[in-house]
Amino acid sequence: AQTVTQSQPEMSVQEAETVTLSCTYDTSESDYYLFWYKQPPSRQMILVIRQEAYKQQNATENRFSVNFQKAAKSFSLKISDSQLGDAAMYFCAYLTNDYKLSFGAGTTVTVRA
């Protein structure tokens, strides 16, 4: 089974500043998909961003961007211009070849006003 590691249990960021969440994974596959999900205190998990491993270009979605380093098996998420609504738990996830998601333990992001 693929292992996804998020080494930062908690991160704090000042409003309007930038925070980067780290994620590493272990795989022997060459083609796969990576995701970042956000789970606000209301608990509904929503997709933030998606990256296809065959694409060299890093995915970007408004204030959210990733730094995908395939050789290093690293997939970090950068949140720019942080807003109070960004406060949530963020999960990194790997999609296996049989279409099952493997999740990291999550990083809780706190945004200071």
Partner 1 sequence: ETGVTQTPRHLVMGMTNKKSLKCEQHLGHNAMYWYKQSAKKPLELMFVYNFKEQTENNSVPSRFSPECPNSSHLFLHLHTLQPEDSALYLCASSQAGAAYEQYFGPGTRLTVT
Residues that bind partner 1 (CB under 8 A): 4, 33, 35, 37, 42-47, 50, 52, 91, 95, 99-106
Comparing CA positions, the residue from 88, 105, 93 lying closest to residue 44 is 88
Choice between 100 and 112, CB closer to partner 1: 100
Choice between 64 and 103, CB closer to partner 1: 103
Provide the minimum distance between the beta carbon of 15 and partner 1 in the complex, in angstroms, as a whole number. Answer: 27
Give, in order, the Cα–Cα distances in Å from 48 to each of 29, 40, 42, 58, 113.
23, 12, 16, 14, 22
